[in-house]
Every structure is written in C-alpha cells, then in structure tokens.
C-alpha cells in the first residue's frame, strides 16, 4: 500500500473511532458522564442532592436576549438568571428532579443586591477571578429580595471575619459568626420557616475583629429556594470577561471556593470566546484547561462546552480552542459537547440561518440560549 493509502486508511480508522465516541454533538459520554449518571439516578430516586456547577463567562451569566436575526439587547437583569441557557437548563431539570432553588447568586450579580455602609473587595477568599465583598463597618447592610422557602449566605470563614445577622421581612434577626480558622467558604443558613412567597432578607454586619485593620463578613453570594435534601442543584458560576484560567489557575485561596466547596458531581466548563478575543496562546489555553479539569475531577465528572461564537477575524480561529477541549476530554476521560458543530462551525449560520445571535454578534439571544439549554438537557438527562 502506498504512503497515501496508509494515510487514508489511518484517517478512516480515526473517523470511525471518532464516530464510536459520538452521540449527536456529545462525545465520550459513556466514560465521561458515568459518575454523573450515577449521581443523577440517586437524585431521581430521592436519595441524594446532586450538584452541577456551570463555570464560564457572560454567556453563562445569561447576557444576551431578544430573538430573530441579530435583534436583542445585552442589558443584565434578574431575569437573565432564568433566561440564559443555565437558568433554562436549571428549570428543565427541576421539572424532572424537583425545584431545589436558585443555586449560588454571586455578589457581582449587582442587580440582585443593594449594599449600604462600607463594603470593599476583600483579600480573603473569592471565586473564579473575583474577590469576596467584605462588609467592613458595623451596621453595613446587604439587602436581597427573593422568592422561596429557604435562604443562605455563602461567606468566607477566616481570622478576618466578623459577626453578622440575617433578618427576613423585618423579623427577628439570627446571628452568625464568620470569624474562624478554616479560611474557607461556608454556608450560613437561615433557620426560620418561610412561605413560598416574595421575601426581603437584610444581612447586617454587627461586630468586627478587635485589633484587625480590616475585618467583617466576606460575602461570596446567597442561595434561596425550596427543599434541598434531594434533587439536582445547579450553580451558575460565571462573570463577564471570564477565561479558562480563572477556574483553575487563580490564587490558591480562590480555588477551593470555586470548586472544592461545592464538590460538584458534574462540572460544565464553558469558556473559549474570551480566550479567542484575547488570542490566548493555544498551549497556554491547553495547560489552563487541564488544571481546571484535574481539580474538578477530584469530585465528579467534567463536561467541556465551548460557549460564545463570534465573527472569525483573528489569527487563531475560535474553533481551535474547541478542538483543544475535545482533545483534553479524550485524554482525561471527560465528555465534550461540540457547540460549534451544532452551528455548523459557522458564525454566519449561527447568526443568519439559525438566528441565534444577539445584537453584539457575540452573545446568544433567547433562541440561542434555549437551543443550547435543550441540547445540554438532552445530553445530561437522556443519554
């Protein structure tokens, strides 16, 4: 056989092997989602509360709205947590597994919170590439309006912590203390009985640590919702401008808060568009993604999902980043969802034919978010 014949045979063999690992746009799911299927079965059987964390940038937050062509705005708002693909995925899973609440609402979703008094970025803890927000004056408050029967504050316990209270609808305040030695994230759960209605929670800093230049409650975010002993809790962990390095390569104190605290049964790593925009070298992108995979696989499975598609106007095409996701999925026994193939690897198809793009030609509109949520739901729940 000629050299050309050997090459064609090898390519054909590779394609056949590739097809064995493919189901629609999902690759390597038999191995890569095995632990997730087990966690899901236990949750559906009413035995455990399984955890799914979605890490990414503004697309994960839910930026982009409207529908039809490139119509739509990019204004953030509370509804984005429901209308983005993560919120839509959460809603769909809740219909099958039961509604267990919002998951984490980070403090940088500023439209959710009203701060009064002295609050500043803290050097104690953080998540992704952002620090916690610390209430550093007695009487400083954070107000949150929510609907549900439970409410929790996620903060950092540390030697620079402090005491704070949670009061809901003007009721009796419950006191908590974030001063301690763990230097890690902690859930502070309001223990009162709440009806399934709209409520207003006020978090108030009541005591600082004597002798410390800076101390107080270091806030990561809040969670609210219903019963949470069984089912699937989906955490929407992203921020505008996020890149792959910010899940696994930021400073040591942030990493445990980002992954270890949640112990996710499944981590969806959904970056690439910002790495493309800044033209992160592919070798660097590969190393950073590998670090994130290694950390997340301590607790469960990983599904790599490139999110965000934009006009091809840079030296390194955006599809090169998604190829690395696929390569690393196979090397690490992870699953990979080929979002770009779903759009025929074409920005023009995504925008003009499928009408999935918002007005900035980068983010998805409502149609795009719904399509991705539907595809991921099918991959996670019906595979």
Closest to 324 measured CA to CA, from 373, 269, 368, 375: 269
Closest to 23 measured CA to CA, from 284, 336, 294: 336
CA distances to 249, 338, 368, 378, 381 from 375, rounded to whole Å, are 29, 10, 11, 5, 10
Which tokens sit at 197?
Answer: 């209605």
Q: How high is the pLDDT of residue 4?
A: 44
To the question of pTM greater than 0.85 for the whole model, the response is: yes
Question: Locate tokens 């701060």: which residue?
Answer: 115
Q: How high is the pLDDT of residue 69?
A: 62
Rounded Cα–Cα distance for residues 266 and 297 (Å):
8
What's the burial of 212, exposed, middle or buried (CB within 10 Å: 0-12/13-18/19+)?
middle
Q: How high is the pLDDT of residue 13?
A: 38
Q: How high is the pLDDT of residue 82?
A: 86
Q: How high is the pLDDT of residue 257?
A: 87
Question: Locate tokens 């410390």: which residue?
Answer: 212
DSSP designation for 111: G
pLDDT in tens, 332-357: 999 999 999 999 989 999 999 999 98
Closest to 302 measured CA to CA, from 103, 32, 51, 85: 32
Count of CB atoms situated within 10 Å of the CB of 31:
15
In which residue ranges of the chain is pLDDT below 70?
1-20, 68-79, 250-252
Rounded Cα–Cα distance for residues 106 and 240 (Å):
12
Q: How high is the pLDDT of residue 250?
A: 67
CA torsion 80→342→247→326, rounded to 10°?
Answer: 170
Rounded Cα–Cα distance for residues 223 and 106 (Å):
9
């Amino acid at each position: 056989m000629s050299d050309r014949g050997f090459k064609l045979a090898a390519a054909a063999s590779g394609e056949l092997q590739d097809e064995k690992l493919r189901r629609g746009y999902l690759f390597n799911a038999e191995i890569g989602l095995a632990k997730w299927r087990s966690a899901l079965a236990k949750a559906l059987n009413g035995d455990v509360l399984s955890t799914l964390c979605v890490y990414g940038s503004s697309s994960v937050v839910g930026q982009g709205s409207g529908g039809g062509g490139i119509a739509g705005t990019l204004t953030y708002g509370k509804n984005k947590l429901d209308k983005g693909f993560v919120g839509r995925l959460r809603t769909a899973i809740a219909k099958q597994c039961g509604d267990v609440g919002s998951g984490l609402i980070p403090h940088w979703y500023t439209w959710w919170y009203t701060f009064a008094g002295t609050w500043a970025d803290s050097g104690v803890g953080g998540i992704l590439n952002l620090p916690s927000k610390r209430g550093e004056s007695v009487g400083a408050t954070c107000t949150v309006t929510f609907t549900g029967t439970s409410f929790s504050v996620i903060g950092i316990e540390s030697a620079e912590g402090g005491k704070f209270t949670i009061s809901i609808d003007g009721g009796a305040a419950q006191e908590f203390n974030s001063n301690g030695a763990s230097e890690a994230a902690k859930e502070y759960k309001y223990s009162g009985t709440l009806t399934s209605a709209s409520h207003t929670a006020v978090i108030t800093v009541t005591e600082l640590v004597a002798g410390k230049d800076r101390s107080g409650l270091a806030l990561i975010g809040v969670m609210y919702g219903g019963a949470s002993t069984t089912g699937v809790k989906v955490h929407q962990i992203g921020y505008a401008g996020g890149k792959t390095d910010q899940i696994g390569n930021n400073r040591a104190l942030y990493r445990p808060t980002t992954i270890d605290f949640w112990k996710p049964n499944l981590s969806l790593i959904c970056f690439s568009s910002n790495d493309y925009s800044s033209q992160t070298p592919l070798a660097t992108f590969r190393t950073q993604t590998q670090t994130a995979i290694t950390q997340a696989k301590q607790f469960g499975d990983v599904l790599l999902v490139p999110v965000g598609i934009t006009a091809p106007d840079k030296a390194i095409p955006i599809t090169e980043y998604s190829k690395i996701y696929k390569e690393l999925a196979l090397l690490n026994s992870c699953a990979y969802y080929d979002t770009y193939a779903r759009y025929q690897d074409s920005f023009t198809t995504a925008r003009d034919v499928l009408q999935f793009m918002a007005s900035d030609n980068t983010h998805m509109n409502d149609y795009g978010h719904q399509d991705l949520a539907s595809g991921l739901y099918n991959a996670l729940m019906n595979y």
